C-alpha cells in the first residue's frame, strides 16, 4: 500500500509554496511508495496544467478533499497516523489550518525562513521535529549555527517540460528587463525600479516586464520602508496597481508591461522573450523559484549574492551583484521581524550589469546558456525524490 504523505500548505499554480506542493503531487502521482494528500484540499481552478497531467492528479484531488472534509469543523491538535510535511512559519512553528494543528506520525518540518538570528522559542520549536527540510544551504547553516542538527537541505526545482531554452519569436526589438516575485521589501522591487529608471534614461528601447502578483497584496506596501520609490498605488480592490505604481516612479506607459496573474505553466512563454532578468533580492530563504525558472529558460539573470541565491551562483552562469551592504533600517520597520543576513544590493552595480547585458548580447547569451545547464540538474523530480527519501528514512528510524 502506498504511504500517504500529508502537506499542510496549498497546492496551486500561482505562488511559490503552491508550486512546490503541485510538483510533489505530480512527481508522486504514480510513485509506488508514496502519494501526496493536501490537508487543505485541492482546488482544480487553482491548478493550470495540460489535460494529461491534470488527470494524473485525480486521486490526489479525491484524497485531499476527503481529508479536508474530515478536518472541517475540528479544532485543536490532531494527530494523523501518517507522515505530515508541515510548513513552518518564521518562528519555526507549524502552520495551523482553520484552527487545526495537524501533527504527523512522524512530523517533518519544511521551512524557508528569512533571518540569520533565531530566538529561543524558534529553536525550541525546531528541536521538536525529527527532521527539518530547508530550502537553502543558507537556512541549514543558520540552523546549525544555533546548535540544531536535525536538518537537511532540499532545493526546489523546475519543471523541465516547461522551463528550458527554446526559440521564442519576438514581436519587436525592444530590450526587455524582467522582474518577478511578489512585490515586497524583501524581494527588492524598489531596487529594480530605481535601477531600471536610471538605466532607461540612456536606453529609450528598454522595457520593464513585471510579474509581481501575489495572493498577499498587503505585503506590497513594505517596499515603502526603503524610501527609494514612490508610495505603492493600489486599486479599488486594495490590490497592487502595478502600472500606476510604475508611472508614479517616472516610467512611461510604453516602458512597462504588467504580466498580472500568470499561471506557472504560462511563464516560460513570457520568459523566453525577455533579454535579462534582475533579482536584487535582499533575502531568500529558498533559492528563489522565479529566478530558477528564468535561468532554466536560458535568460541571462542578475542575482544578488546573498542568502538562498548563493545556491544558484556558479562560475559565469549569471551576472552577480557582489556589493552587498547591511540593511539600514531599524528591524521594527520591516514586517518580517529582524533582518540579519539580509543584503542591500547597490543600485549603481545593478545599472552597470544591465548595461553590460545590453552592450554585449553574446556574453549575456553565454551566461544564460550556462545558467540553463546549471538548472538542468534541478528538476522537480529530484526534489520529490529527496523529500521522499527523507520521509521514508524518518519513518524507518521511528518504526512507523
Listing DSSP states for 334-358 in one string gives: STTS--TT--EE-HHHHHHHHHHHH
- The pLDDT tens digits for 103-159 are 999 999 999 999 898 999 999 999 999 999 999 999 999 999 999 999 999 999 999
Question: Stretch 310-321: mean pLDDT, rounded?
Answer: 98
Residue 329, pLDDT score: 63
d(CA 144, CA 146): 5
Question: Stretch 47-61: mean pLDDT, rounded?
Answer: 95
What separation in angstroms does the CA of 212 have from each of 70, 125, 179, 325? 35, 32, 8, 25
Full DSSP string of 151-195: EEE----B-TTTSS------SS--EEEEEES--STTTTHHHHHHH
Q: Decide: 135 and 285 in contact? Cβ < 8 Å.
A: yes
334 — pLDDT class (breaks 50, 70, 90): very low
d(CA 244, CA 232): 9
Question: Stretch 186-190: mean pLDDT, rounded?
Answer: 96
d(CA 27, CA 35): 9
Greatest extent of the chain over all pairs of C-alpha atoms, in Å: 65
Residue 36 cell numbers, joined: 501526496
Residue 74, pLDDT score: 86
Q: Where are the beta strands (DSSP E) in 154-294?
A: 175-180, 206-211, 256-258, 276-279
- The pLDDT tens digits for 112-126 are 999 898 999 999 999
Number of helices (H), then strands (E), belonging to the chain: the values are: 12, 16
Residues 197, 288, 175, 266, CA torsion sign: negative
- Residue in this structure with the C-alpha cell 529527496, named with its chain if needed: 386
> Residue 256 pLDDT more than 90?
yes
Domains in the chain, CATH or no CATH each: 3-157+379-398 (3.40.50), 175-375 (3.40.50.2000)
Question: Stretch 290-302: mean pLDDT, rounded?
Answer: 98
> Residue 233 pLDDT more than 80?
yes
Question: Stretch 337-360: mean pLDDT, rounded?
Answer: 92
> Residue 171 pLDDT more than 80?
no
Interacting residues of 206 by C-beta distance below 8 A, sequence separation 6+: 174, 175, 177, 196, 199, 200, 255, 358
335 — pLDDT class (breaks 50, 70, 90): very low
> 344-345 and 324-325: which strand pairing?
antiparallel
Full DSSP string of 81-111: SS-EEEEB-TTSPBPPBTTEEEE-SSEEEEE
Q: What is the dihedral of CA 27, 31, 34, 40, to 10 degrees?
A: 40
Q: Decide: 11 and 42 in contact? Cβ < 8 Å.
A: yes
Question: Stretch 356-379: mean pLDDT, rounded?
Answer: 98
Bridge partners for 110 per DSSP: 87, 133
338 — pLDDT class (breaks 50, 70, 90): low
- CB-based burial label for 372 (10 Å; 0-12, 13-18, 19+): buried
Question: Stretch 65-85: mean pLDDT, rounded?
Answer: 92
342 — pLDDT class (breaks 50, 70, 90): very high
- CB-based burial label for 207 (10 Å; 0-12, 13-18, 19+): buried
> Residue 214 pLDDT more than 80?
no
Residue 234, pLDDT score: 87
- The pLDDT tens digits for 174-185 are 999 999 999 999
d(CA 5, CA 17): 16
Which of 88-92, 263-267, 338-342 is least confident? 338-342
217 — pLDDT class (breaks 50, 70, 90): confident
Question: Stretch 55-66: mean pLDDT, rounded?
Answer: 97
Question: Stretch 354-358: mean pLDDT, rounded?
Answer: 98
> Residue 336 pLDDT more than 50?
no
d(CA 139, CA 225): 25
Amino acid at each position: 500500500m502506498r504511504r500517504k504523505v500529508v502537506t499542510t500548505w496549498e497546492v496551486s499554480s500561482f505562488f511559490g509554496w503552491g508550486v512546490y506542493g503541485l510538483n510533489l503531487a505530480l512527481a508522486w502521482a504514480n510513485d509506488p511508495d508514496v502519494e501526496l494528500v493536501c490537508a487543505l484540499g485541492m482546488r482544480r481552478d487553482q491548478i493550470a496544467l495540460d489535460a494529461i497531467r491534470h488527470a494524473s492528479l485525480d486521486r490526489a484531488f479525491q484524497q485531499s478533499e476527503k481529508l479536508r472534509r474530515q478536518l472541517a469543523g475540528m479544532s485543536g491538535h490532531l494527530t494523523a497516523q501518517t507522515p505530515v510535511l508541515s510548513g513552518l512559519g518564521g518562528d519555526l512553528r507549524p502552520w495551523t489550518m482553520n484552527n487545526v494543528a495537524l501533527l504527523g506520525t512522524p512530523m517533518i518540518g519544511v521551512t524557508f525562513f528569512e533571518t540569520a538570528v533565531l530566538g529561543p522559542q524558534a529553536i525550541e520549536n525546531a528541536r521538536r521535529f525529527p527532521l527539518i527540510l530547508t530550502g537553502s544551504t543558507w537556512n541549514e547553516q543558520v540552523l546549525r549555527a544555533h546548535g540544531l542538527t536535525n536538518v537537511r537541505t532540499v532545493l526546489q526545482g523546475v519543471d523541465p517540460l516547461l522551463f528550458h531554452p527554446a526559440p521564442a519569436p519576438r514581436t519587436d526589438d525592444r530590450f526587455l528587463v524582467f522582474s518577478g516575485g511578489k512585490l515586497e521589501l524583501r524581494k527588492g522591487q524598489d531596487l529594480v525600479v530605481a535601477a531600471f529608471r536610471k538605466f532607461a534614461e540612456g536606453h529609450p528601447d528598454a522595457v520593464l516586464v513585471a510579474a509581481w502578483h501575489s495572493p498577499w497584496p498587503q505585503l506590497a506596501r513594505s517596499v515603502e520602508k526603503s524610501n527609494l520609490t514612490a508610495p505603492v498605488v493600489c486599486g479599488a480592490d486594495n490590490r497592487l496597481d502595478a502600472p500606476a505604481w510604475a508611472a508614479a516612479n517616472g516610467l512611461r506607459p510604453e516602458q512597462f508591461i504588467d504580466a498580472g496573474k500568470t499561471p506557472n505553466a504560462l511563464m516560460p512563454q513570457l520568459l523566453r522573450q525577455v533579454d535579462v532578468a534582475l533579482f536584487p533580492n535582499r533575502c531568500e530563504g529558498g533559492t528563489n523559484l522565479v529566478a530558477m525558472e528564468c535561468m532554466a529558460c536560458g535568460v541571462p539573470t542578475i542575482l544578488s549574492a546573498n542568502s538562498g541565491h548563493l545556491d544558484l551562483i556558479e562560475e559565469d552562469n549569471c551576472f552577480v551583484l557582489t556589493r552587498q551592504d547591511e540593511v539600514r533600517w531599524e528591524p521594527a520597520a520591516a514586517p518580517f521581524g529582524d533582518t540579519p543576513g539580509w543584503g542591500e544590493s547597490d543600485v549603481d552595480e545593478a545599472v552597470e550589469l544591465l548595461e553590460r547585458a545590453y552592450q554585449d548580447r553574446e556574453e549575456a547569451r553565454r551566461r544564460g546558456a550556462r545558467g540553463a545547464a546549471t538548472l538542468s540538474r534541478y528538476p522537480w523530480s529530484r526534489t520529490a525524490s529527496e523529500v521522499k527519501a527523507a520521509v521514508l528514512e524518518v519513518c524507518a528510524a521511528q518504526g512507523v
